[in-house]
Amino acid sequence: MRAVVADRYGPPDVLHVRDVERPIPKKGEVRVNVHASSVTRSDCGFRSAKPFISRFFTGLRRPRRTVVGTEFAGVVETVGADVTGFSVGDEVFGFRGGSNAEFVCVPGSGAIAHKPVGMNFGEAAATCDGASIARACLKKVELREGKRILIYGATGAIGTAAVQLAKATGAHVTAVGNTQNLDLVRSLGADELIDYLTEDFTKNGQTYDVVFDAVGKHSFHRCRASVKEGGAFIETDLGFLWHVPFLALATRWIGSRKVNLPVPVYSKEDVLHVKELIEAGRYRAVIDRTYPLEDVVEATLYVETGEKTGNVVLTVSPTA
């Protein structure tokens, strides 16, 4: 099968498409014929091994898993022993390492579900990563009607997911983005919009129950005055890994404002939750660009510009 492989850590050009052995489903797994996948910020971090501490999870000297990618949408091709809930021919989507390939094996009890009705494979493949990370973050702050949240970087994969998930709780959402994308976040349900090119939200005197930095461009120190007493600051980017965990621990006992650095689990519960919202018309995937699998290096270079809006999709099958 064709797959995107990285035999070593490094820049995007360590990625290449080659033929590898088709995976064999183990007991409790299904094999999915992947029609579409994606390139995410998480994928870029795993490939580059930055920060270095990520190697403790992916392999110290070189990647333990050489086929890259994490999101998929496709059709169940083989069902392993003891799998319930899935049959050959089912259209599915979810999250699994090694998904930038024609086939991927996924535990039936893992982060996989039937594809939402009315959603195509490309859209389904652009759903799970941003939604799972955003959901892990928002679980920590227990949003509800009347709560005010500001989402900085509201037009990225995590940001567009966070806007929609926050609105689903009834919270009042202020979205921060650039001029050209404000209409997009308005269409996703944001109540207020701030153009960061013309206004600095940390200096406008407004305060929020939650300030959610979805792109890792701010710090708690800079945003502290924008967080209400008893509120929370959420950081998502590993670029701040060395100091945010210490702040998260310290603010559990010192001060009324908390710092959170949630770690997503990528569970079946996450996939089913976003599927339910999609089918209820309360969530949609935002896709910036689509590339064929063979153009994965170009797609990755674009993701690493930090300029993407929503998600970048890789088509593996023409039907995607």
- Placement of tokens 């995107």 in the chain: 4
Q: Are the beta carbons of 235 and 216 closer than 8 angstroms? A: yes
According to the model, what pLDDT value does residue 55 have?
Answer: 86
According to the model, what pLDDT value does residue 242 have?
Answer: 52
Q: Give how many domains the chain has, as a whole number.
A: 2
Structural domain of residue 95, as residue ranges? 2-127+285-315
Q: Enter the DSSP assignment of 63.
A: -
Same domain, yes or no: 192 and 214: yes
DSSP string of 274-286? HHHHHHTTS----
What percentage of the chain carries pLDDT values higher than 90?
Answer: 78
Q: Indicate if the alpha-carbon torsion angle 55, 269, 308, 165 is positive or negative.
A: negative
Q: Rounded to whole angstroms, how far apart are CA atoms 149 and 56?
A: 34
Same domain, yes or no: 54 and 173: no
Q: Rounded to whole angstroms, how far apart are CA atoms 7 and 30?
A: 26
Q: Rounded to whole angstroms, how far apart are CA atoms 286 and 166?
A: 16
| 267 found inside a domain | no
Same domain, yes or no: 121 and 137: no
Q: Rounded to whole angstroms, how far apart are CA atoms 99 and 161?
A: 21
Higher pLDDT, 252 or 25: 25
Q: Rounded to whole angstroms, how far apart are CA atoms 185 and 187?
A: 5
**pLDDT, tens only, 216-257:** 888 888 899 999 999 999 988 654 455 566 555 555 656 567
Q: What average pLDDT does the segment 293-320 reach? A: 93
Same domain, yes or no: 243 and 145: yes
Same domain, yes or no: 68 and 162: no
Question: CATH number of the domain that 240 lies in?
Answer: 3.40.50.720
**pLDDT, tens only, 161-202:** 999 999 999 999 999 998 889 999 999 999 999 999 999 999
According to the model, what pLDDT value does residue 235 have?
Answer: 84
Q: Enter the DSSP assignment of 171.
A: -
Work out the mean pLDDT of the chain and round it to a whole number.
Answer: 92
Phi-psi map region of 274: left, alpha, beta (phi>0 left; psi -120 to 50 alpha)? alpha
Q: Residue 204: exposed, middle, or buried by beta-carbon count in 10 A (0-12, 13-18, 19+)?
A: exposed
Give this prediction's pTM: 0.92
Nearest to 288 by CA among 314, 266, 263, 264: 314
Helix (H) or strand (E) holding 173: strand 172-177
| 139 found inside a domain | yes
| 221 found inside a domain | yes
